[in-house]
């Protein structure tokens, strides 16, 4: 477990479900939001939130980060 981890570059290119599991394995208290690439988001920073952006094949396309 790595509760202080800030980003998950190892998930890029993986299936969304697999990426979500990897992130939650590091910190089970994270709120994971799964969004299609290009989705509009708020600009507020939340340390307990990670957004996963994916393409239409459910593949992670950018590095998920806290915030």
Domain total in the chain: 1
Give pLDDT tens digits for 16-28: 999 999 999 999 9
Give the residue among 51, 54, 53, 3 at the shortest CA–CA distance from 25: 3
**Do 19 and 60 touch, CB atoms closer than 8 A?**
yes
CATH number for the domain harbouring residue 36: 3.30.10.10
φ/ψ of 34, rounded to 5, equals -105, 120
Give the residue among 40, 41, 9 at the shortest CA–CA distance from 23: 9
Averaged pLDDT for residues 31-41 = 98
Q: Can you give the residue range of the structural domain that contains 5?
A: 1-67
Q: Check residue 4 and give its pLDDT.
A: 84
Q: Check residue 23 and give its pLDDT.
A: 98
pTM of the model as a whole: 0.91
Does residue 1 surpass a pLDDT of 60?
Answer: no
Task: Give the integer Cα–Cα distance in Å for 66 and 29.
Answer: 12
Name the band, by pLDDT with cuts 50, 70 and 90, for residue 29: very high
């Amino acid at each position: 477990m790595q509760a202080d981890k800030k980003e998950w570059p190892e998930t890029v290119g993986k299936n969304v479900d697999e990426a979500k599991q990897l992130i939650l394995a590091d910190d089970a208290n994270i709120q994971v939001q799964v969004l299609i690439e290009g989705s509009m988001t708020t600009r507020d920073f939340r340390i307990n939130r990670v957004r996963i952006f994916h393409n239409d094949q459910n593949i992670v396309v950018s590095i998920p980060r806290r915030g």
